[in-house]
Structure 1
Amino acid sequence: MDETFGILSLLPIAVVVIFALITKRVIEPLILGTIVGAVLLYGFSFFPNWVGDLLATMSDPDVVWTMVIPALFGVLIAMFGNSNSGTAFRELAIKYVKSRENSLFATYIFGIIIFMDEYMNALLIGGTMRNLTDKFKVPREVLAYVTNSVGTPVSVLVPFSSWAVFLMGLYGASELLGGNGFTSYVSSIPFMIYPMVTLIILLLFIFNKVPKTRYVKEAMRRAEGGNVFPDGSNVAANDFNEELKKDEANTKKPRLINFILPIITLVAGTVIFDMDLIIGVIIAIATCFILYRFNGTMTYSELFETSIKGIQDMVELIILIVAIFLLVRVNENLGTIEFVIHSVKPIITPILLPGITLLVVAFLGFTTGNYWGTMGIVLPIILPLAQISDVNLSLVLGAMVSGGVFGSHVCFFGDAVTLTSASTQVSNMAQIRVSLPYALAGLLISFVIFLGLGFIV
């Protein structure tokens, strides 16, 4: 839209943040924020236009893709649970994992191995490792923090991931970067400071080398008392108790092959078919069907009933995803990102450009939940500024990606946080209460480093 809403474009975000903090919920504040945005955009005719935007959002191919992914992973995770293959993996891990710290370190390593996609990372690792970390009384919100803090940083640092594929395409379309997306991306990896800092902080957190916040200490004490779920998570706790009863009643023989082979086919299928995660997950599910019938683990009826149950478990998450993307659409129509960028342009200098780029993209990622879209809009603005100011282009690209990664960590209604919370069975707000202080510390450290690099690079 041509109309400029200025500072009013931030109103839907403010409404979402304020009401989420008050209610400790996410879906309702998101819907309210989209309605506020619709009122700004359409006035008295906001309701039919809001419904139109909702339908347009639900039919968008990218949104459909994002809705399908958790549904398919729900099937895969349910397969692992009902086949008792998770028990086999846990029994193997317990032979080597003897402490709370090591259980989180195993999660950290597993996250590095599953580097190709943060969705895969969030859903697979959270769903798999929670049984192991529960044994060592790790609070679920701490598991969520560790899971989410490995996924995206590793994905951007390895040039063979969904983030890398997207950014290479973005860079390849830029004349200022010579149309060589791969070279531009690889040259920027040494300047992706925030992902590196995050992985270091996370390791120090796991092995108790950085101070624990009051909330983390309270969570640890609560878990020591036998409740790994955050206070107020009665539904999740009841579900957990039901899961325990089902696990105890599950007499299926734990076979490690029932876990390992589907994971191998998931990774291989994703890589072979041009990083298409949906194809990889479908191949993994098909592997479960064939393997579990071949070795007698599950009957046909059990396989299909388990599949349906897995999809049902993800329905609330899918609703949340639709609300997230509807808010993203509203923000785009209001021109939120453009307003913020043009507001900070007057204060940008060559030395400050990398640091300001980091902060602007981080802020927009946190407030809009649209990390890739933000980078797509910011890139054609910062590249000419960098060229005119004679600032290293790889440095600026690293700062931009760093800001995007920060946003994926702390946007409480973002897809990365949402998927991780779903797989670890905690609320988004519970995860953010653990992760935000450490993410902000990482952002501050990264900003200082980028200021220094602005002088010397």
Structure 2
Amino acid sequence: MQDSYLSLLPPIVAIAIAIWRKNALLALFAGTLLCFVMAANWSPIQGTMDSVNGLVGVFSSTGNVYIISFSLLIGALVTLMNKSGAVNGFINLLANLNLVKNPRQAAILPTVVGTSIFTDTNLSMFTAGMASQQLFDKYKLSRARLAYLIDSTCAPISIIFLINGWGAYVLGLLDGNNVEDAVGVLISTIGYNFYAIIAVILAYYTAFSGRVFGPMKSAKSLIAHQNNEDNERTAPAMLMWLPLAILLCLTIVLLWVTGDGDIRRGSGSFSVFWSIASALVLLMIMLKATGVFTLAEIAKHAVAGIRYMVPAVAILVLSFAFGDAIKALGTGIYVSQLLNVEVPAFLIAPILFLAAAFMAFATGTSWGTFAILIPIAVPISLQTGLPMEFLVAAVLGGGIFGDHASPISDTTVVASIASGCDHFEHVKTQLPYALFGGGVTLALYVFIGLGL
């Protein structure tokens, strides 16, 4: 069905279900099932059996297994840091350093923290938000500004510094589409990911200058009600920063080793898996050695963290299966041929950016968006000759833009909670910044497309 418009049906159905039901898991499952049913000449029984085989086949790839395992282990690492009080210890360390003495420094603190902890978006947001709430109140800065600063640094920085779950996930999608030098392509997307870069620049400009525009000018400290279920335990800050430092350093070393001196050619899935496993083991040893947790408590919280990541990993597995399915169906090839004939080359990246933005805005998830559009962007690149990193970056940036603008995105919700800001107030005050960044990004993609 590579030359048929029917190959567009699975991604269209997946997008429609995602928008209708606000459920990426259901959308990806339906899209995957439909792909296999169509490939089996519309036989529902054979298509269902092939779907099961497709899902099982995801685990036949060593790279996929590494990525899935990494995603589960990051849940254990983050949960142990939170439950042990290591996050609180890190926050206290920042307070004791007495780095904040005026409103500008108060605004800079969450911005720097948000760009420093890029291993996990939620961990970064909660750390930056909890460390800054009282400081923002003290210097009469609105909680809406705090929510904006952490939302505009934590998620964008995760898609720029890709030594985290985001990078492993995108790497898996690229590997699943048989991209040569997937690590090199992934690293090269950074320079083209204009929305994420602009979002971080805007956040730092706002923090340093103190200038705001739009509804942010009149934003008041509408403090959302917070249930006081947060862990009040405090542990040494080293329990947080040392494992994260080991994770970062070891990932780079393993990429260099597996790439024979070139980190772009290293095995990303292998490197990230063993780095997170090492960081987790180190954290467990430190928790036991310092007497913070017993072995039983370590096991309990680690299992809870892994269990918490199961829904995300289910989306991950379905994303891999869906990518394989629409690749076999020829959807990407058909779309690339269509765009090659009907659409000027300089408009392809802007179209992908807008498509990703719309999907992420409507569904509240960028990961599901990546799963649907990256398998389309890759063959478009091969057909048109446009740089693959250019088109993939357009999808990644569009997903982050849609996430920022969407009131149902998990990142906007977490940013509101972490800053203690009213959710609607956060969405309303952040939207002009997101739209400005999106507009500049579109212009840049058109300009670069004209020069390619």
TM-score (norm. length: structure 2): 0.69
User: For 1:38-57, what aligned pairs fall within 5 Å after superposition?
Assistant: 38-42=36-40, 43=42, 44-45=44-45, 46-57=47-58
Counterpart position of 1:79: 80
Compared CA separation, residues 82 and 130, structure 1 to 2 (3 A) = same
Counterpart position of 1:37: 35
| Deviation at residue 152 of structure 1 after TM alignment | 1.4
Whole-Å Cα distance in 2 between the matches of residues 440 and 69 of structure 1?
34
1:402 correspondence with 2:409 = no
Whole-Å Cα distance in 2 between the matches of residues 323 and 183 of structure 1?
23
Compared CA separation, residues 194 and 167, structure 1 to 2 (3 A) = farther
Contact 2:15 2:27 in 1 (8 A): yes
Whole-Å Cα distance in 2 between the matches of residues 265 and 314 of structure 1?
22
Counterpart position of 2:258: none
| Deviation at residue 35 of structure 1 after TM alignment | 2.6
Percent identity (aligned):
17
Q: Look up the SS of the partner of 2:214 in the other structure.
A: coil
Whole-Å Cα distance in 1 between the matches of residues 284 and 114 of structure 2?
26
Whole-Å Cα distance in 2 between the matches of residues 330 and 167 of structure 1?
12
* Matching residue's letter, 1:312: R
* Matching residue's letter, 2:335: V
1:342 correspondence with 2:343 = no
Q: Which runs of 5+ in 1 are unaligned?
A: 229-239, 387-395
Q: Deviations over 1:352-400 (max 9, x none)?
A: x3443453476479656266655543443333xx6xxxxxxxxx56643
Counterpart position of 2:235: 254
Compared CA separation, residues 347 and 372, structure 1 to 2 (3 A) = closer
Compared CA separation, residues 102 and 302, structure 1 to 2 (3 A) = farther
1:199 correspondence with 2:190 = no
| Deviation at residue 61 of structure 1 after TM alignment | 3.0
Compared CA separation, residues 4 and 197, structure 1 to 2 (3 A) = same
Q: 1:311 aligns with which of 306, 309, 314?
A: 306
Contact 1:12 1:34 in 2 (8 A): yes
Counterpart position of 1:23: 21
Query: How many pairs were matched up?
Result: 396
User: For 1:226-265, what aligned pairs fall within 5 Å after superposition?
Assistant: 226-227=224-225, 241-242=228-229, 244=230, 247-248=231-232, 250=233, 253-265=234-246
| Deviation at residue 100 of structure 1 after TM alignment | 10
Contact 1:154 1:195 in 2 (8 A): no
* Matching residue's letter, 1:34: T
Q: Deviations over 1:65-112 (max 9, x none)?
A: 232122111111122122211111122334546899977754543454
Contact 2:80 2:298 in 1 (8 A): yes
Q: 2:155 aligns with which of 148, 162, 177?
A: 148
Whole-Å Cα distance in 2 between the matches of residues 423 and 225 of structure 1?
14
Q: 2:383 aligns with which of 378, 381, 384?
A: 381
Compared CA separation, residues 47 and 360, structure 1 to 2 (3 A) = same
* Matching residue's letter, 2:371: G
Contact 2:114 2:150 in 1 (8 A): no
Counterpart position of 2:285: 290
Contact 2:190 2:393 in 1 (8 A): no
Counterpart position of 2:5: 7
* Matching residue's letter, 1:289: M
Whole-Å Cα distance in 1 between the matches of residues 169 and 24 of structure 2?
25
Contact 1:410 1:436 in 2 (8 A): no
1:271 correspondence with 2:244 = no
Compared CA separation, residues 145 and 37, structure 1 to 2 (3 A) = farther
* Matching residue's letter, 1:27: L
* Matching residue's letter, 2:214: P
Whole-Å Cα distance in 2 between the matches of residues 411 and 87 of structure 1?
31
| Deviation at residue 33 of structure 1 after TM alignment | 2.7
Counterpart position of 2:214: 211
Q: Which runs of 5+ in 2 are unaligned?
A: 137-142, 256-267, 360-368, 418-422
* Matching residue's letter, 1:75: A
| Deviation at residue 331 of structure 1 after TM alignment | 2.0
User: For 1:117-128, what aligned pairs fall within 5 Å after superposition?
Assistant: 120-122=119-121, 124-126=123-125, 128=127
What RMSD, in angstroms, separates the aligned Cα atoms of the two structures?
Answer: 4.7
